[in-house]
Amino acid sequence: MSGKNWRIGVAGLGTVGGGLLNFLSDRPGFAPAGGQAVVTGVSARSRSRPRPFDISNLAWFDDPVELAKSPDNDIFVELIGGSDGPAKAAVEAALHAGKPVVTANKALIAEHGAELALLAETKGVPLLYEAAVMGGTPAVKVVREAMVGDDIRSISGILNGTCNYILTEMEGMLGQQGPADAFRAVLAEAQRLGYAEADPTMDVGGFDAAHKISILAALAFGCAPNYAAAEIEGIEQVALLDIQLAKDLGYRIKLIASASRSDEGVLVRVHPTLVALNHPLAQAGGALNALFIEGTRIGTIYLQGPGAGAGPTAAAVAADIADLMTGAVRPVFQKPAGQLNPFTPVDPAKSMGRAFLRFLVKDEPGVIAAVSETLAEAGVSIESFLQKPVENADGVPIVLTTHAVAESVLTAAIDRIANLPSVLERPRLLRIARI
């Protein structure tokens, strides 16, 4: 409980930066471990832009790298964003100067985490990033610190609130006379409400969730983050019909980010996934984030909460600042940077799992027989089958779920089915969660 005062430099004054300044001015004595935290300098793109908080008493830096190097602050908080450019340059400058860093930047940690960890640990300073994953919900702390006495087998969760919001809203449209492209309609409304960015690619394409699960995989399995090895599919192709048919079969479609470890290596994936309706992950709706952690000793931990927003994310940054104030020094990932396990990616084609397949077929005799024979010949075993009458459709949708099958076997079967004359379009494949 030192009486030390910590002077903080904040680079980036958007939603989270503003939330942090508001928080620290609301709680002037913020000092969970004694001492006091006070913002002394800031940097952002525009000094004069109108803001709902006052920066006139703070030292201004046009260049975040200069703020990071400045001897007038003891902690550098990076809230600029982006995997490269000024964010990376400023974090590196702060670490080089022997200054602890707090960042909310998932892209930076997922893509350059190993080298930054080495730099931070060489300099003996913490690099913390709680706000990078699940915003205000302490996923990083739970995996890094609470599960440190466990051997984690797998992690899976809902790590992107925008996608979860869109999928939840799409489900709400079932049974209504909705627009032809439900995804685009809901996305446009989410953009209008500020729940989705003007360029939504990072979110709806699954890239944001992939950054986050890459970070959690590093913490869980003691390897360097390897974003490049993540297999990524977004939610752009999820149709209302998929959501309806999944529900009829007892599932809800969620964008699930997962990381699992086996003797072969590590598999990190993001894709739309069918989750059984009674599973907690299926019940986390709207913009919620949720995480399921399976360990060999502890068993299963489930964590759910807000994944974004000024209040929650700023609170996560503040929690990291509080951690710094305790004097704790931990490895940036599970182990010291020089001892991290090699990240050996597992070939997704070899991974086993259950699948949901949707076909659009001609309404004529023998179609179902042809599809099921093709699957049987390929070695894919059908678990359930559903055909619903559809009015005025170009074809008849049929859907089936399979028993566990290797992904390579499944895609080979799909290729053959796609070529059947009675099948009108390439079958739609969605995975069913193992959890």
Catalytic residues: 212
Residue whose CB is less far from a copy of itself, 121 or 233: 121
Shortest distance, position 201 Cβ to a copy of itself, whole Å: 27
CB 75 within 8 A of CB 11: no
202, 240, 246, 315: which one contacts a copy of itself (CB under 8 A)? 315
- In 3D space, the residue among 81, 59, 78 whose CA is nearest the CA of residue 70 turns out to be 59
Which residue among 71, 194, 299, 421 contacts a copy of itself (CB under 8 A)? 299
**Residues numbered 183-242 forming contacts with a copy of itself, rule: CB under 8 A:** none
Q: Please report how many Cα atoms fall inside a 13 Å half-sphere around the Cα of residue 69, on the Cβ side.
A: 8
Q: Which residues pair with 398 in a beta bridge?
A: 359, 387
Site string for a copy of itself, 11-30 (x = CB under 8 A): ------------x------x
| Interacting residues with a copy of itself between 141 and 180 (CB under 8 A) | 141-142, 145-150
Asked if residues 90 and 80 have their Cβ atoms less than 8 Å apart, the reply is yes
Would you say 125 or 417 has its CB closer to a copy of itself? 125
Identify the residue among 326, 381, 384, 408 touching a copy of itself (CB under 8 A). 326
Cβ 98 to a copy of itself shortest distance, Å: 15
The answer to the question of whether 13 is labelled as a binding residue is: yes
Segment interacting with a copy of itself, rule: CB under 8 A, options 9-17, 236-244, 304-312, 398-406:
304-312
By CB under 8 A, how many residues form the interface with a copy of itself? 56
Q: Work out how close the CB of 311 gets to a copy of itself at its nearest, in angstroms, rounded to a whole number.
A: 4
Task: Give the x/- contact pattern for a copy of itself in 246-285, rule: CB under 8 A.
Answer: --------------------------------x-x--x--
If one asks whether residue 318 binds a copy of itself (CB under 8 A), the answer comes out as: yes
Q: How wide is the angle at C-alpha 276 spanned by C-alphas 374 and 163, nearest 5°?
A: 95
d(Cα 314, Cα 319) in Å, to the nearest integer?
9
- 20 vs 182, beta carbon nearer a copy of itself: 20
Closest CB 168 distance from a copy of itself, rounded Å: 15
User: Binder to a copy of itself among 100, 113, 161, 331 (CB under 8 A)?
Assistant: 331
Place of tokens 């969605």: 430
Among 95, 104, 317, 361, binds a copy of itself (CB under 8 A): 317
Which residues within the stretch 79-138 sit at the binding site for a copy of itself (CB under 8 A)? 121, 124, 130, 136-138
Q: Are 380 and 350 in contact (CB under 8 A)?
A: no
The CA distance from 29 to 50, in Å, is: 27
Phi and psi at residue 201, to the nearest 5°:
-55, -45
Here the tokens at position 17 are 């930066």
Give CB contacts under 8 A, 24+ apart, made by 237-240: 237/272, 237/428, 238/167, 238/170, 238/183, 238/272, 239/182, 239/183, 239/428, 240/170, 240/173, 240/174, 240/178, 240/182
Closest CA to 136 of 313, 323, 289: 313
Closest C-alpha among 290, 245, 261, 293 to residue 400: 245
Closest-CA residue to 202 (of 165, 162, 256, 231): 162
Instruction: List residues binding a copy of itself (CB under 8 A).
Output: 1, 23, 30, 32-34, 121, 124, 130, 136-138, 141-142, 145-150, 278, 280, 283, 295-306, 309, 311-312, 314-319, 321-323, 326-331, 334-336
Binding site, annotated residues for NADPH: 106
Binding site, annotated residues for NADP(+): 11-18
